[in-house]
Amino acid sequence: MSLLNRFFKTKPKPQALTSDLRNEIRRTFNESAADEKHFPSTIDPRIYHVKLIAEHLGDLSNKRVLDAGCGKGRFARVYKDNNPLAQVHAMDLAEAMLHYATADLNRCAGSLTALPYRSDSFDGAYATESLEHAVEIEKAVAELCRVVKPGGRIAIIDKNVEHWGKLDTPVWERWFNREEMESMLGKHCRQVRSMPVSYWEDVEPDGMFLAWLAER
């Protein structure tokens, strides 16, 4: 039975990211890359998740920004199209996902818990529904902050643990509450705020998705 079919409904417990588990996650997402229905390669730029991150990061002209856990690079593609002079780096664990990222992005395979970039090398970074797959969440948050310059901005959008059980989830996945992620970001950032968000700006959030916006 594949990991995608082994689901559970109780609140997930922290676990270690062993090499076997990392390989299992990579294999799962490499296999899922062909599933365009559930893992689309494009996103509507009007979706509020896209707009919120863009507003938080600000003008990206001649700046470096990282999409950490980019999947097929759909967010990165929007930001590159809107900021042709930006260096948009798209990183993901699954090489098959990266195959869909366009050639004008700086594509790189790597792990969220050991980002393959120098410290203080980006003006901004974001992670959209990717930290939930990092397993060692605090280490992944520290890495995301490490690669961003002092004064740079970080955005995270992920699922709210208070809604755990409403969706089928693989055994390694974790969701977060506002305070938990604020605390992790607060260890590395001077400003952190969070809010519930909806896919559409004019739709009241139902609490499923949370956004954390930070400044290093």
Domain that residue 199 falls in: 3-215
Exposure pattern of 92-124 as b/e (b: 16+ CB <10 Å)? bbbebbbebbbeebbbbebbbbebebeeebbbb
Mean pLDDT of the chain: 94
Residue whose tokens read 């690079």: 73
The per-residue pLDDT for range 67-79, each reduced to its tens digit, is 999 999 999 999 9
Q: Looking at the 3D structure of the chain, how many domains does it have?
A: 1
The per-residue pLDDT for range 161-199, each reduced to its tens digit, is 999 999 999 999 999 999 999 999 999 999 999 999 999
**Long-range CB contact pairs, 12-15, < 8 A, 24+:** 12/164, 12/169, 12/172, 12/173, 12/174, 12/175, 14/136, 14/137, 14/174, 15/135, 15/172
Average pLDDT of span 137-153: 98
The per-residue pLDDT for range 7-57, each reduced to its tens digit, is 444 566 667 999 999 999 999 999 999 999 999 999 999 999 999 999 999
CATH of the domain at 141: 3.40.50.150
